[in-house]
């Protein structure tokens, strides 16, 4: 499940079955909320669907909204979070090596990834603890705050990054790419019809998503 936007106040939240590849449910939204995702899962269950697992992005609080369902955080979204902290071409050696670990995520198993992350931390632990003193206030702060934030993000989200591996028999996708690709095609179609009214735009989206 995921949401895409056109502008700031018009978006589509989509729930897709990764087994049949069918779109099951959509909401037109102004704002993406965890409550609406929960509502969507409940609506699908009320329709008779059995939700065996969920793949979604890592928006704050969303993953913990489903305590009784295995949830896989999209590894692509996690990589994007790290790149926002470190940029695509980090200058620090520690950042470059953390990016290498992150790049392993989508092509390795849980144990290998955790091992690589632990080795990175052992190597750079002292570096992460370095502090800089503000000469005006005489107060200190962590020198490499963005690197610390990137590492902390990986640690915090780790319990949900490899549920595809922990529940291998369920066939959980490790990304939301099936929906992201769908959204990209939809946006290309709408781009070819610039100037549509909101009503006509919704009609085109309805026909494209078939839900």
Encode pLDDT of 110-119 as tens digits: 999 999 999 9
With 0-12 / 13-18 / 19 or more C-beta atoms within 10 angstroms meaning exposed / middle / buried, residue 130 is: exposed
The pLDDT score that the predictor gives to residue 190 is: 87
Residue 195 reports pLDDT greater than 90: no
Closest CA to 144 of 166, 124, 129: 129
The pLDDT score that the predictor gives to residue 72 is: 97
For range 7-34, the mean pLDDT: 94
The pLDDT score that the predictor gives to residue 176 is: 93
95-142 pLDDT tens trace: 999 999 999 999 999 999 999 999 999 999 999 999 999 998 989 999
For range 47-70, the mean pLDDT: 94
Is 44 in contact with 15 (CB distance < 8 Å)? Answer: yes
143-190 pLDDT tens trace: 999 999 999 999 999 999 999 999 999 999 999 999 998 899 999 988
Question: What is the rounded average pLDDT for all residues in the chain?
Answer: 94
pTM of the full predicted structure?
A: 0.90
Percent of the chain surpassing pLDDT 90? 87
How many Cα atoms sit within 13 Å of 18 on the Cβ side? 21
With 0-12 / 13-18 / 19 or more C-beta atoms within 10 angstroms meaning exposed / middle / buried, residue 141 is: exposed
The pLDDT score that the predictor gives to residue 10 is: 93
Going along the chain from its start, the domains and CATH numbers come out as 1-74+175-211 (3.30.420.10), 88-157 (no CATH)
Residue 91 reports pLDDT greater than 80: yes
Phi, psi of 73 (to 5 degrees): -75, 135
Q: Which helix (H) or strand (E) holds 142?
A: strand 140-142
The pLDDT score that the predictor gives to residue 58 is: 86
Beta-bridged to residue 79, according to DSSP, are none
């Amino acid at each position: 499940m995921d949401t895409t936007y056109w502008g700031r106040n018009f978006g589509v939240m989509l729930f897709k079955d990764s087994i049949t590849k069918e779109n099951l449910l959509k909401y037109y939204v102004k704002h993406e909320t965890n409550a609406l995702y929960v509502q969507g899962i409940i609506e699908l269950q009320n329709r008779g669907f059995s939700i065996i697992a969920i793949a979604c992005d890592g928006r704050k609080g969303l993953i913990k909204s489903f305590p009784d369902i295995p949830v896989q955080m999209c590894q692509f979204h996690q990589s994007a979070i790290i790149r926002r902290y470190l940029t695509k071409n980090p200058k620090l050696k520690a950042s470059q090596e953390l990016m290498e670990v992150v790049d392993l995520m989508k092509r390795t198993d849980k144990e290998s990834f955790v091992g690589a992350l632990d080795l990175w931390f052992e190597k750079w632990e002292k570096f992460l603890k370095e502090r800089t003193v503000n000469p005006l206030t005489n107060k200190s702060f962590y020198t490499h705050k963005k690197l610390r934030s990137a590492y902390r993000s990986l640690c915090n989200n780790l319990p949900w990054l490899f549920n595809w591996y922990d529940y291998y028999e369920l066939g959980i996708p490790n990304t939301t790419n099936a929906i992201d690709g769908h959204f990209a095609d939809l946006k290309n179609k709408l781009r070819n019809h610039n100037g549509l009214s909101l009503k006509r735009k919704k009609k085109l989206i309805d026909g494209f998503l078939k839900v």
